[in-house]
Every structure is written in structure tokens, then in C-alpha cells.
């Protein structure tokens, strides 16, 4: 009975995979619960401050890592603003964020990117682990439906063409063993939300990553975007997102898909339509045909831009994983 109680009250172990602006939103919600979080973050970014530091210092891009550290950190609001501060002036400084420069400094001081992230995580009192999907220098390449290739994560959405598939150069970058171990030990693996081709798939294409997720006993959960992204997912439905992942890593990859079933107000739809984005249709029956249980709910939160309601999504995730743990241990 003692062992069963310990299992029952053990903190849930959750691995969250992605990048861009979507991953930090979900992490801010999950960190309010008594769970152990491991964030595995894409390292394919090649634009802006991250791209410059990547080229100048021969290190993985720090931008997505920085956003995740800030999301999980137990910091004062002012310190968060400082870490996200982007220099506007100064030769060599303009365009860089202070957080990116700190990660670059820790990379040099500790002699390794992952080690530097861990030390900075300790300083910032980060609630969880933050790991790059790989420490290797990788470039994301997209093959378009007309056969042309577009090289570089930042260039793919600008091509104005339809993406057939994406792949990495080198094709088999080595994963972080610590990331694979976290996946193997997880109760739940959450993928998304985030840019489908430039934030989500680069993680899954790292050598052994998709296989590790597939063989893990964890509940695999996909959180779909609420709006399409121009140049990546024009006119995509929710099932189209999942089908695209299946084309890259194999079918029946997820157990559950969490999708939005509420339309934004017309004024907000108009605002996004001017940029070429429309709401992602939650075609529930098609998602089920792809092998996923579906949770459809109003996931919208509007704060100058549309975001996922992290609190509501986190509650869905926690409920799913608690039920899974109880069932596995006969509780």
C-alpha cells in the first residue's frame, strides 16, 4: 500500500517538445502544477540575433532556448524584461537580446552549450530542465511541391511556395542522450503548439528522436495551432497538421490531439486575414481517422495577439496523464 501511494503521488514527468512562441506559452501553464518538466527545444533557427551568434560563435542558436528559460524561470518581472531586452543601437549590439548574449557567454564560460544552459537555469531558478534537441550545427531545408529546395529556417516561409517536406543537414544529427532518457521516463510527451515545419518537425527529425517518442510508454499529446501560418500551413486544417507529421515520422504517432473549436471574433479574424492567416478548422472526425483521441475546446486567449489558453490546456494535459498513471498502476 505504501508503494502504491508513493506511485500515486509521484510528480508527473512531462516532456514538452517544440520551439518558437508556442512552447513558452504552454510551459507557463504547466509550471503552475506540481510536475517535473523537461523542455526539448529546436536548434534550427538561423535568423536575427540567433543566426548571428550561431555564425559568429559556432554555437547552436540561443533564441528559442532563451524564451523557454524565461517562461520556466522563477524571476521578477523586471528581470524577465531585462533578459528579453533587444538592443536598438550600438555597433555589433543592435538586434541582439541580452538573454541571447548571456547564453553565448555561458556557452564560452562552461565549455559547452548544454552545460551553459544548465548553469544559467540554476541562476534563474528555472522550474524544470531545458535541453536542445541536438548540440550539432543543423540547417533546415524544405523541398517544395515544385521540386525546388529552400535552405534555412528563416527563408522557408518567405519562399511563397507549398512545402512538400523538410529535412535536416546533416541528415542524422546526434540527439542529446539526456533528452532521449527524459522521453523514455516520461508520463506524458507534449508536442506543440508551434510552427509545424520550422519549430515542431526539426525536433522530430533529429536522429532517434521520433523512435524514442514512439516506443515510450508515455501518453503522446499533440497541441494544434489555432491559426494557419502564411508560407507554412496555408489553408491547413487540424488533421492536415497531424498528417504532415505522419508523412515525416510515420502514422499513428500521437494518442491525443488537443484542438481549438472556437472562432475568434470577426474583428480579430480580419486582423489576421490581412497577414494571410485564417483559423485552423478542427475537423474532428478526420483526426480520429488518423488514430487520435480528440479533445476539442475553446483554447483562445487574446492579448493583442491570439495565444493558446495555457491554463485550460494544462488542465486537460494533467487530467489525461493522471488518468493514464492511475490506469497503469491499477489505482
Q: What pLDDT is recorded for position 9?
A: 57
CA–CA separation, 86 and 100 (whole Å): 9
CA–CA separation, 21 and 24 (whole Å): 6
Q: Which three cell numbers stand for residue 250?
A: 510515420
Element (H, E) at 223: strand 219-223
Q: What pLDDT tens digit does each residue of the chain (331 aa) get?
A: 444 444 555 799 999 999 998 999 999 999 999 999 999 999 999 989 999 999 899 999 999 999 999 999 987 688 889 999 999 988 889 999 999 999 999 999 999 999 999 999 999 999 999 999 999 989 999 999 999 999 999 999 999 999 999 999 999 999 999 999 999 999 999 999 999 999 999 999 999 999 999 999 999 999 999 999 999 999 999 999 999 999 999 999 999 999 999 999 999 999 999 999 999 999 999 999 999 999 999 999 987 789 999 999 999 999 999 977 766 665 5
In b/e form, how buried is each residue of 55-90, taking b as 16+ CB within 10 angstroms?
A: eeeebbbbbbbbbbbbbbbebeeeeeeebeeeeeee
Q: Which three cell numbers stand for residue 217?
A: 510508454
Q: What pLDDT is recorded for position 303?
A: 77
CB atoms within 10 A of CB 316: 16
Q: What pLDDT is recorded for position 329?
A: 60
Ranges of each domain in the chain = 2-43+173-328, 46-132
Handedness of CA 234, 236, 238, 241 (dihedral sign): negative
Task: Tell me the pLDDT tens digit for each residue of 269-327.
Answer: 999 999 999 999 999 999 999 999 999 999 999 877 899 999 999 999 999 999 777 66
Q: What pLDDT is recorded for position 1?
A: 43
Element (H, E) at 169: strand 163-169
242: number of CA atoms within 13 Å, CB side? 32
Handedness of CA 245, 247, 249, 253 (dihedral sign): positive
Q: What pLDDT is recorded for position 2?
A: 42
CA–CA separation, 166 and 140 (whole Å): 7
CA–CA separation, 118 and 109 (whole Å): 12
Q: What pLDDT is recorded for position 6?
A: 46
Conformation bin of residue 90: beta by default, left when phi > 0, alpha when psi is -120 to 50: left
Q: How far is Cα of residue 141 from the mean position of the Cα atoms in its chain? A: 18
Q: What pLDDT is recorded for position 79?
A: 83
DSSP letters, 3-51, are: HHHHHHHSPEEEEEEE-TTHHHHHHHHHTTSSEEEEEEE-----SHHHH
Q: What superfamily in CATH does domain 2-43+173-328 come from?
A: CofD-like domains (3.40.50.10680)
CB atoms within 10 A of CB 7: 14
Amino acid at each position: 500500500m505504501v508503494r502504491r501511494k508513493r506511485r500515486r503521488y509521484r510528480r508527473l514527468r512531462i516532456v514538452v517538445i517544440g520551439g518558437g512562441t508556442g512552447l513558452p506559452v504552454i510551459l507557463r501553464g504547466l509550471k503552475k502544477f506540481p510536475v517535473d518538466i523537461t523542455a526539448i527545444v529546436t536548434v534550427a533557427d538561423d535568423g536575427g540575433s540567433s543566426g548571428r551568434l550561431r555564425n559568429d560563435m559556432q554555437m547552436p542558436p540561443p533564441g528559442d532556448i532563451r524564451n523557454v528559460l524565461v517562461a520556466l524561470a522563477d524571476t521578477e518581472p523586471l528581470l524577465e524584461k531585462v533578459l528579453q531586452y533587444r538592443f536598438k543601437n550600438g555597433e555589433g549590439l543592435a538586434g541582439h537580446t541580452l538573454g541571447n548574449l548571456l547564453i553565448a557567454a555561458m556557452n564560452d564560460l562552461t565549455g559547452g552549450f548544454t552545460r551553459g544552459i544548465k548553469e544559467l537555469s540554476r541562476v534563474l531558478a528555472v522550474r524544470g530542465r531545458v535541453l536542445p534537441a541536438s548540440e550539432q550545427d543543423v540547417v533546415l531545408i524544405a523541398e517544395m511541391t515544385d521540386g525546388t529546395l529552400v535552405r534555412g529556417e528563416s527563408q522557408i516561409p518567405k519562399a511563397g511556395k507549398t512545402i512538400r517536406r523538410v529535412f535536416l543537414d546533416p541528415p542524422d544529427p546526434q540527439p542529446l542522450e539526456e533528452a532521449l532518457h527524459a522521453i523514455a521516463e516520461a508520463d506524458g510527451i507534449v508536442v506543440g503548439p508551434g510552427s509545424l515545419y520550422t519549430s515542431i518537425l526539426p525536433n522530430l527529425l533529429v536522429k532517434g528522436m521520433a523512435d524514442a517518442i514512439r516506443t515510450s510508454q508515455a501518453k503522446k499529446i499533440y497541441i494544434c495551432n489555432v491559426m494557419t501560418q502564411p508560407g507554412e500551413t496555408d489553408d491547413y486544417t487540424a488533421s492536415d497538421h497531424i498528417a504532415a507529421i505522419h508523412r515525416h515520422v510515420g502514422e499513428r504517432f500521437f494518442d491525443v490531439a488537443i484542438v481549438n473549436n472556437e472562432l475568434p471574433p470577426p474583428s480579430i479574424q480580419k486582423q489576421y486575414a490581412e497577414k494571410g492567416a485564417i483559423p485552423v478548422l478542427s475537423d474532428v472526425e478526420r483526426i480520429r481517422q488518423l488514430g487520435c483521441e480528440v479533445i476539442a475546446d475553446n483554447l483562445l486567449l487574446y492579448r493583442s495577439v491570439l495565444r493558446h489558453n495555457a491554463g485550460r490546456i494544462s488542465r486537460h494535459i494533467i487530467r489525461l496523464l493522471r488518468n493514464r498513471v492511475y490506469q497503469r498502476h491499477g489505482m
